[in-house]
Amino acid sequence: MSTHAKRERLLLADLLEGAGPDAPTLCEGWTTRDLAAHVVVRERRADAAGGLIVKPLAGRLERVQREFSEKPYDELLRLIRSGPPRLSPYALKQVDEAANTVEFYIHSEDVRRARPDFTPRELDPVFSDALWSRLEKAARILGRKSPVGLVLRRPDGRTAVAHRGAPVVTATGEPGELLLFAFGRQAAADVGLDGDKDAVAKALEAGLGL
Q: What is the pLDDT of residues 79-103, one digit of tens each?
A: 999 998 888 888 889 988 998 999 9
**Residues 104 and 181 placed together within one structural domain of the fold:** no
Residue span of the structural domain in which 164 resides: 125-205
The H or E element spanning position 77 is helix 73-82
3-class DSSP state for residue 151? strand
3-class DSSP state for residue 28? coil
**Residues 151 and 189 placed together within one structural domain of the fold:** yes
**Residues 105 and 15 placed together within one structural domain of the fold:** yes
Which domain-ending residue is among 53, 78, 112?
A: 112
Which domain-ending residue is among 112, 140, 174?
A: 112
**Residues 44 and 89 placed together within one structural domain of the fold:** yes
Give the model's pLDDT for residue 50: 52
**Residues 104 and 132 placed together within one structural domain of the fold:** no
**Residues 104 and 145 placed together within one structural domain of the fold:** no
pLDDT band at 140 (very low <50, low <70, confident <90, very high): very high
Instruction: Assess contact for 8 and 80: CB atoms under 8 A.
Output: no
**Residues 137 and 45 placed together within one structural domain of the fold:** no
Residue 51 included in any domain: yes
Total of domains in the chain? 2
DSSP string, 188-210: G---EEES-HHHHHHHHHS----
Give the model's pLDDT for residue 1: 44
Tell me which amino acid residue 49 is: A
Which domain-ending residue is among 112, 145, 168?
A: 112
Torsion, Cα of 87, 89, 92, 95 (10° steps):
-170
**Residues 59 and 136 placed together within one structural domain of the fold:** no
